[in-house]
Structure 1
Amino acid sequence: MGTPTSSHAYGIGMLALIIGMSATLVFYTSFYLPESLAKPSVSEHILNPEDEFIIEIVPGAVIEGNENYVPNKPTVLLGFTNKVIWQNNDDTAHTVTPDHRQADGYSGDFGSTGVLKPGDTYEFLFTEEQVIPYHCQPHPWMTGTITVEKSRF
């Protein structure tokens, strides 16, 4: 009797499968994954603006008709005031929720995750020009709009 040849074919097939899977894994972790997760290149002066811009959720903001986000429709400038902080100075929890999904290429999705309890803050670093209308999820009459522009200087 001769030796079976099917075990050699099986071994060669398994070796080819292992090599193929290894090559796929190396490509995925070395090239595809880093490129898909890479953030865009943003200049240092935009990543480290000269100043922060504060928007206050004022006391009594929960009452319809009162002021709520102050200032309510600010314009911030990239490189100067593009790091924006919302401070909840009211005695009620609020949110900063975009009217429509908004994302910044560098900082990701805009909007507070969960509620801002009294005394809490939400900050966002804008790196692109955009206009974002937003509101408070539990109090939809509370609205604001932030405009992000390039500096003219």
Structure 2
Amino acid sequence: MSQVRTGNAYGVGIMTVIVGVTAGAVFYQGFYLPESLEVPSVDEHILHPTADRIIDILVGSALPDQEENFVPKLVDIQLGVDNLVTWTNTDETPHTVTPDHSYADGYSGKFGSDGVLKAGETYEFLFTEPAVIEYHCQPHPWMQGTLSITKQRF
């Protein structure tokens, strides 16, 4: 008889674990996961700015004594006006656009070029939130720039 009672207790324990795991999986897939992957709603005028902002990476930027590399270095960006920013590498040397501190825009995701921009290549990013971002070129850390993203001024 004692074996039957032990078997029943074991079965109840297994069923409790199965119910707990199932409830956890339902919560994760039904509530937590969709909320964590949800992209915030953004006004159409921010998603479709009236102008583009272009930052040139000048020829010779790989040289440490050249002061002009990201041009312009300090960029004031207004959401809904010129918040689509494009970096163009006009240099013969590959460069990166790398944030000094990790930054992720709620709509556009992680900021920073994937790998290097070879000669003639571009990197584009749509900013949708106010922020101040300092960035540099990974292989050439003397190349530095700053973006100041603000709401549109009326």
* TM-score between the two structures when normalised by the length of structure 1: 0.86
Q: Does 1:58 align with 2:58?
A: yes
Q: Give SS of 2:149's match.
A: strand
Q: Residues of 2 paired with 1:148 and 1:4: CA distance?
A: 70
Q: Return 5+ residue gaps in structure 2 as ranges.
A: none
Deviations 1:3-61 (A, max 9, x none): 83333333232222212211111011111122223233322221222232111112222
Asked whether the 8 Å contact 1:60–1:66 carries over to 2, the reply is no
Seen in structure 2, the aligned counterparts of structure 1 residues 23 and 2 have a Cα distance that, compared at 3 Å, is closer
Q: Does 1:115 align with 2:116?
A: yes
AA partner of residue 115 (structure 2): G
Q: Give SS of 1:146's match.
A: strand
Asked whether the 8 Å contact 1:94–1:136 carries over to 2, the reply is yes
Q: Give SS of 2:125's match.
A: strand
Q: Residues of 2 paired with 1:24 and 1:134: CA distance?
A: 41
Seen in structure 2, the aligned counterparts of structure 1 residues 66 and 6 have a Cα distance that, compared at 3 Å, is closer
Q: Residues of 1 paired with 2:132 and 2:28: CA distance?
A: 36
Shift of 1:105: 2.5
Seen in structure 2, the aligned counterparts of structure 1 residues 35 and 2 have a Cα distance that, compared at 3 Å, is closer
Q: Residues of 2 paired with 1:75 and 1:99: CA distance?
A: 18
Asked whether the 8 Å contact 2:60–2:66 carries over to 1, the reply is no
Partner of 2:76: 75
Q: Give SS of 2:88's match.
A: strand
Higher mean displacement: 89-98 or 63-72? 63-72
**Where do 1:2-21 residues align within 5 Å?**
4-21=4-21
Shift of 1:104: 2.1
Q: Give SS of 2:4's match.
A: coil
Q: Return 5+ residue gaps in structure 1 as ranges.
A: none
Identity of aligned residues (%): 57
> Size of the alignment, in residue pairs?
153
AA partner of residue 108 (structure 2): S
Q: Residues of 2 paired with 1:71 and 1:106: CA distance?
A: 25
Q: Give SS of 1:132's match.
A: strand
Q: Residues of 1 paired with 2:137 and 2:30: CA distance?
A: 42
* Runs of 4+ deviating beyond 6 Å: none
Partner of 2:147: 146
Higher mean displacement: 74-83 or 86-95? 74-83
Q: Give SS of 2:54's match.
A: strand
Q: Give SS of 2:68's match.
A: coil
AA partner of residue 35 (structure 1): E
